[in-house]
Chain A
Amino acid sequence: MAKSKLVADLLQNWWLRHKTSAGTWLSLWLVSLPIALLLQVWAIQNTYLSPGFAALNPSVTVTQIVHQQGTAPSPLASYLVKEFKQRAQLTVVYEKMRWLKWSEADQEHEVAASFISGGFNALGVKPALGSFVAMEFPAADTQLQVAISYQFWTSHFQQKNVIGHTLMLNGKLALIAAVMPERFVSFRSEQHADLVVPFSFLPLLGLADADQLSPDVFSYLLHNSPLSPQLAQLEVELKNEALLFDDESFTTSAAFGMSVRQFETIKARLGLLSQLFMGLLVFSLLAFTSHIASASDKRLNEMSLRKMLGATSAQLGYQRHLEMLIILSLVLVFSLLLFWPCASLLGLMLPDIPATEFELSAAKLRVLLQLLLVVSLVISLILYAQHRWTQHSLGRGATVSKAEKMQTFVLLAALFVLSSGALTYSSQLLLQQWRYSQLDRGYNTEQLSIVTFDFPKFGGTYFVNKLPSLLISNLMATAEIQQAALTSTPVLHPAASYVTFYTSTGAALTGRNNAQVLTNHISPNYFELMGIELLQGESLNWDNYWQVVISESLWQQHFKDIPLSQAQITQTMNDGERRAIQVVGVAKDIHRINPDDPVTPIVYRVTPTITGQEFIVLKSTASVEPLQQLVQQELSKLDTTLQNPKVISVSDLIRQQQAPQLALLSTSLVLTLVVLVSSLLFCLNAVSLLTRKSARELALRLTLGARRRQLVLKELFTLSVIYLPLVLSTALALPDWFTRLDRIISNSAIYLLFIGFNLIFLLFILVVLYLSVRKIKHQSWQYLQ
């Protein structure tokens, strides 16, 4: 009873003391932010970089293996799988995803199937119903057996006993052997599987053409001991027997359910971010601890008073522990509150990862609790040391020691130098981003979409026909599409076509040895749709293939001194004849891919037919989905073999293009913000603590005739002796730190910016010192009493 009363009193006391303390709440949020970011990073690691997402609990190590041929990775070929089994006694498991047609009554549904070559037991997948025994490495000629997902079982069979029932898949009867565990989603990240089917049944389901060596197959090794020595020996043996060529090798990776390259990229970025956020946590903890220490110092009177009023040492210790518990609970709550908003922030920092629900593992939550315990231990130690130190040395006339002052100033200088570095770096990035947004690409990007589509090839022989003009006029006849054009070399896209052109004097049009010029086969309205300005002449027309429009840079290079009517280029035909092509117009240069890149010389020529390598450019306010359907309709009307249109908006392409820069910028801004606020908070607390500890000395000096300015300048001088050399030495190293940036300001501007930020910080310290001393002056008589 007495204890609960004390707890209630102490909780109320804490609340009354801190409810209006901006420093307390700011430092709590500040320390919670890196923790929330770290939790997010761990959650992503848990989702992407471990097999846990597939509800696996492997009893062996699962390692993805890639057969590297030169730089091209591929899954293990079946002859290699045999060698692995026979020579190294290693089990190889394959996995691939395919869509199957499930016929139910008179209806057909598409279901996602994960084909896996077995190893359920070793992977630790426990069926919710039935058994995987019959599915473990079955022969291709046995009865087709499948496992259905828990969600599939619930939605289609209402959780009835379905073991032994059959499904019609791609026209074949399949026996349901098991129901997958409830948490199982897929053997791949970001995908779900309705069915799990033994890999060997691919041919039986009519997917024999889907070669098991297609790049989307993942192969895994199940093993207990380290792989490296076994693999090295196997590689040597296979090479000796010419089963493996010299440029072939095996690469292993911990990637599960995703490509090795993607895994390595994400792993590297997550590792980097994890380190960065750990660093941020250290900084924010520094500010947090300084605030706690300062707050604790302020309330020494309260503790003395409580002692005088009869509180025992145990009760005072109890109060300290309770307050620590409150703080840690708040940090935990704030971290969890920030956890979800941080997902969007990390989305910016990690553009490769699609937004999914990330799950935290129990192990990572344990790490968080351990982290918080370490934090509480550190703070308790500081408070204990402060308590002991204060009790023993704060007597009449006591003041802060030189060592203490130096320690604080060194830390303060280091924090502010780091903040200035971060600010300078972020300023660079912001400037770079601003400049990037101001760059003129040479064409309009608003309401623009690019459409790709499939078209059967005709062995490289094409005939001029009306198909292109018909397609364009059909598309433009719809209400949703304002304009449509064809292009073979779309903007912001890697696809490009090249043609060899010469000038009439026989020189390569490129001006180099290689005469291949980037050639864009377009519809005549392309320039109008794209907003590319025609500087001279006119656009192309459908009827004359032997006319071109060239870009401004080509014009300047070859024809600037002659009239347009005399400008001609030539093309060598298959029979060796050199045919003249009239230049009918000059288009303004564009930055086709990146506005930062130099302009690309382009020859524009009308597209005579549809070859399957064209893209449609659309100007429309409609969204992607309806636009895709509309284009499909129009393509089908024209030719049923024109299929699978895929629409992507140019703004999405620009967003993708800018994603790495934005990732860097957002990371840098978060880092700068946390470091800056931590530094400012640390400065306020540290200076306040220093002046409070020296209050009696400062009051005495003021009483003995010192002026505020003299006292402040003295402290500032001591700080500057530490600060300025640190600033100068760091400034010298700055240009090296910025080498990876596309620098838009000179070294001297970087120095100026960095030194400017530091001077602002020094001014900030000066103001804080001045205000602290002024406060002491106003209360100096009390300090001397």
Chain B
Amino acid sequence: MTQRSELIRLEQLCFSYHGTEQLVLDHLDLVIEQQDYVAILGTSGSGKSTLLSVLGLVNPPGQGHYFLLGHDVRQLTDKSVALLKNREIGFIFQNFNLLNHLSVYQNLCVPLSYNSDIPRSMYREKAEQVLQQVGMLQFSDRLPSQLSGGQQQRVAIARAIINNPSLILADEPSGNLDSATAELIFDILQQLNEAGKTICLITHDVGFATKAKRVLRLSDGRFISNG
């Protein structure tokens, strides 16, 4: 068995929204290793979505420490945060968040345009590669409005992995999908994990949560079970 390195470490992490004193995340400790597959379960208002936003560097951590790939996030500059979000994190949203005025291919190019390591000439190749992975290659010129919900989510997954990130954060990825399509999406996530990606997902579906290697339960901003 190989020794996996640490991807995320939370130490007594707290978070409250601007202008309020109530702790949404209350002294959390957590370690997620590379190639881990973590599902976070919790009721509405438990803080799971906020946790994902902090893990994805969208919201800055409050008290405590958050280490991502060994970097103390609080010490990072705006530029480094943007770089990490672009290269090391891929987001999948419940509502897909595709840009309706752009085609599938152009939506995939959005993260590439902020990645200076990838020349424009490589865009097509990279896009086709990830579309192939999610089975959407034939739809590359379609607009999001011409796709079904499942297809849109597969495009969103393709966009999440196009910069080959270490961590994929998924916020209720099956929330807007029927069970068959949801099954397909979780299969893709499973494959991505097997291919070496670390996945952290939020779900309220216990059935899908069991597909993860670890299941964490969050209530009132605290972990009540740390599997």
Which chain A residues have a beta carbon within 8 Å of chain B's beta carbons? 395-399, 401-402, 696-697, 700-708, 710, 778, 780-781, 784-785
Report the interface size for chain B: residues with CB under 8 A from the other chain: 32
Q: B58: CB under 8 A from chain A?
A: yes
Q: How far is the CA of A706 from the CA of B87 in the complex (A)?
A: 11
Residue of B at shortest CB range from A783? B97
Q: How far is the CA of A705 from the CA of B82 in the complex (A)?
A: 4
B49 and A785 within 8 A (CB): yes
Q: B85: CB under 8 A from chain A?
A: yes
Inter-chain contacts of A778 with B (CB < 8 A): 18
Q: B91: CB under 8 A from chain A?
A: yes
Given contacts A402-B101, A705-B85, 17 further A-B contacts (CB under 8 A): A396-B96, A396-B97, A397-B98, A696-B97, A700-B97, A703-B85, A704-B114, A705-B82, A705-B86, A705-B111, A705-B115, A710-B114, A781-B58, A784-B58, A784-B97, A785-B95, A785-B171
Known: A700-B97, A705-B85, A784-B97. A397 touches B79 (CB 8 A): no
Inter-chain contacts of A708 with B (CB < 8 A): 78
Q: Name the residue in A396, A780, A785 with the highest tally of chain B Cβ atoms < 10 Å from its Cβ.
A: A396
Residue of A at shortest CB range from B79? A707
Inter-chain contacts of A781 with B (CB < 8 A): 49-50, 53, 58-59
Mark B77-106 against chain A: 1 for CB-CB distance below 8 A, else 0. 011001101110001011111111100000
Q: In whole Å, how far is A708's beta carbon from the nearest beta carbon of chain B?
A: 7
19 contacts between A and B (CB under 8 A): A395-B100, A397-B96, A397-B97, A397-B99, A399-B99, A696-B97, A702-B82, A704-B91, A704-B110, A704-B111, A705-B82, A705-B83, A705-B85, A705-B86, A705-B87, A705-B111, A707-B114, A780-B58, A785-B95
Inter-chain contacts of B221 with A (CB < 8 A): none
Residue of A at shortest CB range from B114? A705
Q: In whole Å, how far is B182's beta carbon from the nearest beta carbon of chain A?
A: 18
Inter-chain contacts of B150 with A (CB < 8 A): none
Q: B47: CB under 8 A from chain A?
A: no
Mark B41-62 against chain A: 1 for CB-CB distance below 8 A, else 0. 0000000011001001011000
Q: In whole Å, how far is A300's beta carbon from the nearest beta carbon of chain B?
A: 18
B59 and A703 within 8 A (CB): no
CB contact between A700 and one of B56, B82, B99, B101 (< 8 Å): that residue = B99
Q: How far is the CA of A702 from the CA of B57 in the complex (A)?
A: 10
Inter-chain contacts of B173 with A (CB < 8 A): none
Interface of A is mostly: helix
Inter-chain contacts of A784 with B (CB < 8 A): 58, 91, 93, 95, 97
Q: In whole Å, how far is B146's beta carbon from the nearest beta carbon of chain A?
A: 13
Inter-chain contacts of A703 with B (CB < 8 A): 56, 58, 85, 91
Q: Name the residue in A396, A705, A785 with the highest tally of chain B Cβ atoms < 10 Å from its Cβ.
A: A705
Inter-chain contacts of B49 with A (CB < 8 A): 781, 785
Known: A704-B85, A704-B114, A705-B85. A396 touches B95 (CB 8 A): yes
Q: How far is the CA of A598 from the CA of B93 in the complex (A)?
A: 79
Q: How far is the CA of A784 from the CA of B95 in the complex (A)?
A: 8
Inter-chain contacts of A696 with B (CB < 8 A): 97
Which chain B residues have a beta carbon within 8 Å of chain A's beta carbons? 18, 49-50, 53, 56, 58-59, 78-79, 82-83, 85-87, 91, 93-101, 110-111, 114-115, 144, 159, 163, 171
Inter-chain contacts of A397 with B (CB < 8 A): 96-100, 144
Inter-chain contacts of B96 with A (CB < 8 A): 396-397
A396 and B100 within 8 A (CB): yes
Q: How far is the CA of A705 from the CA of B79 in the complex (A)?
A: 9
Q: Name the residue in B18, B59, B82, B98 with the highest tally of chain A Cβ atoms < 10 Å from its Cβ.
A: B82
B100 and A399 within 8 A (CB): yes
Inter-chain contacts of B78 with A (CB < 8 A): 707-708
A398 and B82 within 8 A (CB): no
Inter-chain contacts of A399 with B (CB < 8 A): 99-101
Q: How far is the CA of A398 from the CA of B115 in the complex (A)?
A: 24
The 4 lowest CB-CB distance pairs between A and B, nearest first, are: A705-B86, A705-B114, A781-B53, A704-B111
Q: Name the residue in A703, A704, A780, A785 with the highest tally of chain B Cβ atoms < 10 Å from its Cβ.
A: A704
Q: How far is the CA of A32 from the CA of B203 in the complex (A)?
A: 56
Q: How far is the CA of A710 from the CA of B115 in the complex (A)?
A: 12
Q: How far is the CA of A761 from the CA of B10 in the complex (A)?
A: 46
Known: A703-B58, A704-B110, A705-B115. A697 touches B99 (CB 8 A): yes
Q: In whole Å, how far is B154's beta carbon from the nearest beta carbon of chain A?
A: 15
Q: In whole Å, how far is B144's beta carbon from the nearest beta carbon of chain A?
A: 6
Residue of B at shortest CB range from A394? B100
A706 and B18 within 8 A (CB): no
Q: In whole Å, how far is A694's beta carbon from the nearest beta carbon of chain B?
A: 10
Q: How far is the CA of A397 from the CA of B53 in the complex (A)?
A: 19
Q: How far is the CA of A293 from the CA of B50 in the complex (A)?
A: 33
Q: In whole Å, how far is B172's beta carbon from the nearest beta carbon of chain A?
A: 10
Q: Name the residue in B49, B86, B94 with the highest tally of chain A Cβ atoms < 10 Å from its Cβ.
A: B86
B82 and A706 within 8 A (CB): yes
B85 and A398 within 8 A (CB): no
Q: How far is the CA of A781 from the CA of B97 in the complex (A)?
A: 11
CB contact between A704 and one of B53, B59, B86, B94 (< 8 Å): that residue = B86
Inter-chain contacts of B53 with A (CB < 8 A): 781
Q: Name the residue in B49, B50, B56, B99 with the highest tally of chain A Cβ atoms < 10 Å from its Cβ.
A: B99
Inter-chain contacts of A402 with B (CB < 8 A): 101
Inter-chain contacts of B94 with A (CB < 8 A): 785
Inter-chain contacts of B87 with A (CB < 8 A): 705
Inter-chain contacts of B59 with A (CB < 8 A): 781
Inter-chain contacts of A697 with B (CB < 8 A): 99
Q: In whole Å, how far is A366's beta carbon from the nearest beta carbon of chain B?
A: 47
B100 and A398 within 8 A (CB): yes
Inter-chain contacts of A395 with B (CB < 8 A): 100
Inter-chain contacts of B114 with A (CB < 8 A): 701, 704-707, 710
Inter-chain contacts of B99 with A (CB < 8 A): 397, 399, 697, 700
Q: In whole Å, how far is A390's beta carbon from the nearest beta carbon of chain B?
A: 14
Inter-chain contacts of B159 with A (CB < 8 A): 704
Residue of A at shortest CB range from B162? A704
Q: How far is the CA of A701 from the CA of B163 in the complex (A)?
A: 14
Q: How far is the CA of A705 from the CA of B86 in the complex (A)?
A: 4
Q: In whole Å, how far is A228's beta carbon from the nearest beta carbon of chain B?
A: 62
Q: In whole Å, how far is A696's beta carbon from the nearest beta carbon of chain B?
A: 7
Q: In whole Å, how far is B206's beta carbon from the nearest beta carbon of chain A?
A: 22
Inter-chain contacts of A710 with B (CB < 8 A): 114
Inter-chain contacts of B58 with A (CB < 8 A): 702-703, 780-781, 784
Q: In whole Å, how far is B127's beta carbon from the nearest beta carbon of chain A?
A: 14
Q: In whole Å, how far is A548's beta carbon from the nearest beta carbon of chain B?
A: 83
Inter-chain contacts of B86 with A (CB < 8 A): 704-706
Q: How far is the CA of A316 from the CA of B159 in the complex (A)?
A: 41
Q: Name the residue in B53, B85, B87, B97 with the highest tally of chain A Cβ atoms < 10 Å from its Cβ.
A: B97
Q: In whole Å, how far is B92's beta carbon from the nearest beta carbon of chain A?
A: 11
Q: How far is the CA of A703 from the CA of B87 in the complex (A)?
A: 11
Q: How far is the CA of A710 from the CA of B82 in the complex (A)?
A: 11
Residue of B at shortest CB range from A396? B95
Q: In whole Å, how far is B227's beta carbon from the nearest beta carbon of chain A?
A: 26
Q: How far is the CA of A707 from the CA of B115 in the complex (A)?
A: 11
Inter-chain contacts of B163 with A (CB < 8 A): 705
Q: How far is the CA of A404 from the CA of B100 in the complex (A)?
A: 15
Residue of A at shortest CB range from B93? A784
Residue of A at shortest CB range from B57? A703
Inter-chain contacts of A401 with B (CB < 8 A): 101
Q: In whole Å, how far is B210's beta carbon from the nearest beta carbon of chain A?
A: 25
Q: How far is the CA of A398 from the CA of B98 in the complex (A)?
A: 8
Q: How far is the CA of A400 from the CA of B85 in the complex (A)?
A: 25
Q: In whole Å, how far is A709's beta carbon from the nearest beta carbon of chain B?
A: 9
Q: How far is the CA of A696 from the CA of B102 in the complex (A)?
A: 14
Q: In whole Å, how far is B192's beta carbon from the nearest beta carbon of chain A?
A: 18
Inter-chain contacts of B110 with A (CB < 8 A): 700-701, 704
Q: How far is the CA of A397 from the CA of B106 in the complex (A)?
A: 14
Q: In whole Å, how far is A399's beta carbon from the nearest beta carbon of chain B?
A: 6
Q: In whole Å, how far is B104's beta carbon from the nearest beta carbon of chain A?
A: 12
Inter-chain contacts of A702 with B (CB < 8 A): 58, 82
Inter-chain contacts of B100 with A (CB < 8 A): 395-399
Q: In whole Å, how far is A164's beta carbon from the nearest beta carbon of chain B?
A: 87
